[in-house]
Chains A and B, each alone.
Chain A
């Protein structure tokens, strides 16, 4: 207790010097909090929109190479037991919805113009286009049991009762010179090599950066009829909680060993790459911050111990054992790191609140300028403060040894 009390008071002894060290640590930690909070929100929203933009939490297919070759050429990938899979998940409280999808490539023609398209088909009730432009990178534009497929530039939302209609990418529509209400003819290759053609009424035009030149969406039933498929090639599963993904995937793999189950983590390759890049980036920043903090604290502790050399002699003369002095100096380092870390977290969270009140931080996503809220992870408290406590102790190790390595008489001879 006496050692802790002395250590605590000692860190505020050289007020100006301690304040300068603490300020540097606080600013570093606050910067880390804001940066981590920005990345956390950005990647969280990226993850959720990836899951709800055509992937789902889980997918079940009949063959493992479906995800490489079968997405737009599904004829040899029929999932024969899709009914059993759907039935087994029907009453599972973790599951929000299970639905099939298919896809095909085709040539789209309108008047004298034509264009190759990739068409993806989901049940109408599972497709969703946002009519508002959302400039905030968050989950507010997402609907948990539907796939968000882009911003509806013109036309109407999907109607569960209507079939044979098409949502065309806005750029593709401009190339073909069509608008909602017009008709386009799609021609697709059938399983046996024949061609099938059909007119589709355009219900809406969507924008989605990078996609609206090549993609179109129609309802699942129409696509199955058009491509003469009898069973869907894939099932999408949406869960109430993302954390259940591995559990449900494991159970499905046991129940349906002939099928192949993939999680969103496996399917979202781009998300994985970006997340890995940002995680590495954050780890490097954290490491640099810890090194700078170590240097600052070590410098501060070394100076503080050196200035008090005579005091170490006095304390030892009064009966303080050398190990207690080592503990005292280590505690000073730990407390300095801890106070800096906690204050840095406080300042960081306060700064995050202010940034969010002002509309978040700007972020360029393809052609869009988004606003990203700063939402630090709760685990950051441990991630930031625990290494700082260790850093504080490490920084104080050499000074602590310095404080006791000389005879008390040598320390007492030092000038105050």
Chain B
């Protein structure tokens, strides 16, 4: 795990929402470094800013102020086309409600992000088959995701997130919609794949048991980092 150049660095990151014309701060001056290969948990109660931070790191939203550097590249300078390609090639997303495309089969769901990459059909199909094998769903490839259990759906989502061999996987409350045992299985799988594939994993949770799967737990309260075991916490701007 190289500590020289962070994979992700946020500088003075702020996010405010306009709710009924009232300014509602979600993140206040976040300073954060995440290094390649890390498994990072963002912990905090509802409304603490976990999802907002994940969305900003995933280039799914625009910050109100501050910068996000991805290996020193400022993503705010990218246009929609470049951002789409960047998300497609460099990031994988796992959502609380799985967010599978219901009109696509399990195989097609995993294949979908690869369709936007310059891969041959053979390579694409081999990669999807390999990922489904890894998540234990090879025999469900032709099935509609609507016929799967919650745990199986999340496995499909994990396969989809990792099929493109991204450097960073972002998971927003990946076990929140699952029972405890299934949640543990999912975390085990994500950990195993993080180690095998070498992708950096950042996930949010409010469950301490789930957070234990991380190398590093960052705690957020009211949009501010209140604890980060690494030295980056020292750089946190506190009012």
B219 contacts the other chain (CB 8 A): no
**A45 interfacial contact with B, CB 8 Å:** no
Stretch from B37-45, B68-76, B91-99 at the A interface: B91-99
- A191 close to chain B: CB less than 8 A: no
Q: A407-B60, A407-B61 are in contact. Are A321 and B99 (CB under 8 A)?
A: no
Question: Taking the nearest CB of chain B, how far is it from the CB of A39, in angstroms?
Answer: 42
Contacts of A317 in B (CB 8 A): 58, 60, 87, 93
- Report yes or no: A408 in contact with B60, Cβ–Cβ below 8 A: yes
Residues of B within 8 A of A9 (CB): 103-104
Contact A412 B55 (CB under 8 A): yes
Give the docked Cα–Cα distance between A242 and B87 (Å).
Answer: 65
User: Within the complex, what minimum Cβ distance (angstroms) separates A409 from chain B?
Assistant: 4
**Is B103's CB under 8 angstroms from A314's CB?**
no
Interface segment out of the listed B112-120, B134-142, B229-237: B112-120
Kindly count the residue-residue contacts between A and B in the assembled complex, taking CB atoms under 8 Å apart: 67
Q: Does B50 contact A (CB under 8 A)?
A: no
Given contacts A319-B84, A412-B95, contact A313 B60 (CB under 8 A): yes
Residue A68 at the chain B interface, CB threshold 8 Å: no
Residues of chain A within 8 A (CB-CB) of B87 are 316-319
Cβ A314 vs Cβ B88 within 8 A = no
Verify if A283 is at the interface (C-beta below 8 Å from B).
no
Which positions 368-416 of chain A face chain B at CB distance < 8 Å? Answer: 407-410, 412, 416
Inter-chain CA distance A323–B112, complex, in Å, is 17
**Chain B 6-20: CB-based contact to A (< 8 A → 1; otherwise 0):** 000000000000000
Contact A311 B101 (CB under 8 A): yes
B62 at the interface (CB under 8 A from A): yes
Is residue A95 contacting chain B, with contact meaning CB distance below 8 A?
A: no
Tell me if B224 is interfacial: C-beta within 8 Å of chain A: no
Given A409-B61, A412-B60, A412-B95, answer yes or no on A322-B84 (Cβ-Cβ < 8 Å): yes
| Binding site secondary structure of chain A | helix
B89 nearest CB neighbor, chain A only: A319
A315: chain B residues within 8 A (beta carbon): 101
* B80 touches A (CB below 8 Å): yes
Interface, chain A (partner B; CB < 8 A): 2, 6, 9-10, 13, 310-311, 313-322, 407-410, 412, 416
- Is A318 a contact of B113 with CB atoms below 8 Å? yes
A407 and B87 CA atoms in complex are apart in Å by 14
How many chain-B residues does the 8 Å CB contact rule pick out? 27
Complex contact A320–B116 (CB within 8 A): yes
Chain A residues in 8 Å Cβ range of B115: 2
Instruction: Across the interface, name the chain A residue whose C-beta is closest to B61.
Output: A409
Cross-chain contact of B103 among A13, A313, A416 (Cβ < 8 A): A13
A1 nearest in chain B by CB position: B115
Tell me the smallest distance from the CB of A410 to a CB of chain B, in Å: 7
Further 14 A-B residue pairs, CB within 8 A, beyond A6-B101, A9-B103, A408-B60: A2-B112, A6-B103, A310-B99, A311-B99, A317-B60, A317-B87, A318-B87, A318-B112, A318-B113, A320-B84, A322-B80, A407-B61, A408-B61, A409-B55
Question: Is B95 a contact partner of A314 (Cβ separation < 8 A)?
Answer: yes
Contact B84 A316 (CB under 8 A): yes
Nearest A residue to B112, CB-CB? A318
Question: B194 to chain A: closest CB distance in Å?
Answer: 19
Q: Does B47 contact A (CB under 8 A)?
A: no
B89: chain A residues within 8 A (beta carbon): 319
Asked whether any CB of chain A lies closer than 8 Å to the CB of B102, the reply is yes
Residue of A nearest to B103 (CB): A9
Residue in contact with A318 in the complex, picked from B52, B80, B88, CB distance below 8 Å = B88
7 A/B residue pairs, CB under 8 Å, sorted by A = A9-B103, A314-B99, A316-B84, A319-B84, A322-B80, A322-B84, A416-B97
10 closest A-B pairs by beta carbon, nearest first, are A319-B88, A409-B61, A9-B103, A409-B55, A409-B60, A408-B60, A314-B99, A321-B84, A318-B113, A2-B115
B78 within 8 A of A: no
Complex: how many Å from CA A13 to CA B146?
Answer: 12
Contacts of A410 in B (CB 8 A): 61
A13-B102, A13-B103, A412-B95 given as contacts; is B62 within 8 A of A407 (CB)?
yes
